[in-house]
């Protein structure tokens, strides 16, 4: 009941505003997150043109639903939620997703003990973002890719990611762990080439 009353109050609040005021509110609160939306859309769609379309659709839908946004709450997570829902409903159906990966079959390198201590939160991927890393991220299954992009590339907190994806925080942590594990496996040789790691025989 309280939630309905709150929603009704927000609707009444927005509906009583001049259109110019609503537009200004949206522009000031939502539009600063356009870059984030595009980066997330690009990693989801893996296509610049489709990413632009996805962002445009998300912004339009967000503006139409602006009366349901509660001022003072996390606009970025709210916008990412809208973008992701559009992607799931309108875009992903027409694209073939990567074949699910059996993580138990992957050699458990975990970048060895030194990286586990130096890079507990996947900072390797935020420090060395180039085409090879982006390609590896793009190859992740969608649910892992979403978590890695929002956390390691956009710097969103577990709570904000959970809100954006509509899942518990524990699920976010699990997806991040599994996604990072896949990336670690895929990028091990690259990390060695970049000098970020030493092979066991080199570090003796």
User: Which of 147-151, 156-160, 191-195 bottoms out in mean pLDDT, i.e. has the lowest?
Assistant: 191-195
Whether residue 96 has pLDDT greater than 70: no
What are the structure tokens assigned to 117, written together? 């201590």
Q: Where are the domains of the chain?
A: 2-94, 105-193
Q: Kindly report each contact of residues 123-131 with a partner whose C-beta sits within 8 Å and lies 24 or more positions away, as own/partner.
A: 123/152, 124/187, 124/191, 124/196, 125/152, 125/153, 125/180, 125/183, 126/152, 126/153, 126/155, 128/194, 128/196, 129/153
Q: Confidence class of residue 172 from pLDDT cuts 50, 70 and 90?
A: very high
The pLDDT of residue 189 is: 76
Furthest C-alpha separation in the chain: 71
Whether residue 4 has pLDDT greater than 80: no
Residue of 20 and 146 predicted with greater confidence? 146
Task: Tell the residue number behind the tokens 């659709």, with chain if given.
Answer: 57
Q: Do the Cβ atoms of 111 and 191 come closer than 8 Å?
A: yes
The pLDDT of residue 59 is: 94
Query: Stretch 71-97: mean pLDDT, rounded?
Result: 81
The pLDDT of residue 181 is: 87
The CATH architecture that domain 105-193 belongs to is: Orthogonal Bundle (1.10)
Report the distance separating Cα 63 and Cα 26, nearest Å.
Answer: 7
2-94 and 105-193 share one fold: no
What are the structure tokens assigned to 131, written together? 């085409």
- For residue 142, the surrounding DSSP H or E stretch is helix 142-148
Domain 2-94 fold is Rna Polymerase Sigma Factor; Chain: A (1.10.1740)
Q: Confidence class of residue 136 from pLDDT cuts 50, 70 and 90?
A: confident
Which one, of 112, 129, 29, 18, lies nearest residue 70 by Cα?
29
Which class for 168: exposed (0-12), middle (13-18), buried (19 or more C-beta within 10 A)? exposed
User: Which of 19-33, 73-87, 119-133, 165-179 bottoms out in mean pLDDT, i.e. has the lowest?
Assistant: 119-133
Whether residue 7 has pLDDT greater than 90: no
Query: Stretch 39-47: mean pLDDT, rounded?
Result: 88
The rounded mean pLDDT for the chain is 75
Whether residue 12 has pLDDT greater than 80: no
Kindly tell me the sign of the dihedral angle through the C-alpha atoms of 28, 29, 35, 38: negative
Q: Confidence class of residue 61 from pLDDT cuts 50, 70 and 90?
A: very high
Report the distance separating Cα 156 and Cα 152, nearest Å.
Answer: 8
């Amino acid at each position: 009941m309280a939630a309905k009353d709150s929603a009704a109050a927000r609707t009444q609040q927005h509906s009583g505003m001049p259109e110019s005021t609503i537009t200004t509110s949206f522009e000031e609160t939502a539009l600063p997150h356009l870059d984030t939306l595009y980066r997330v859309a690009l990693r989801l769609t893996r296509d610049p043109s489709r990413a632009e379309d996805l962002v445009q659709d998300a912004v339009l839908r967000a503006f139409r639903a602006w009366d349901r946004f509660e001022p003072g709450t996390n606009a970025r997570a709210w916008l990412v939620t809208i973008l992701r829902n559009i992607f799931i409903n309108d875009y992903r159906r027409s694209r073939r997703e990567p074949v699910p990966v059996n993580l138990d079959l992957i050699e458990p390198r975990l970048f060895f003990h030194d990286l586990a201590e130096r890079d507990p939160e996947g900072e390797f991927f935020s420090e060395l973002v180039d085409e090879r890393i982006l390609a590896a991220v793009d190859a992740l299954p969608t649910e892992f890719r979403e978590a890695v992009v929002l956390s390691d590339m956009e710097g969103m907190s577990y709570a904000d990611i959970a809100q954006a994806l509509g899942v518990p925080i524990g699920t976010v942590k699990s997806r991040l762990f599994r996604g990072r594990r896949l990336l670690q496996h895929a990028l091990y040789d690259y990390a060695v080439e970049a000098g970020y790691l030493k092979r066991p025989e080199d570090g003796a």
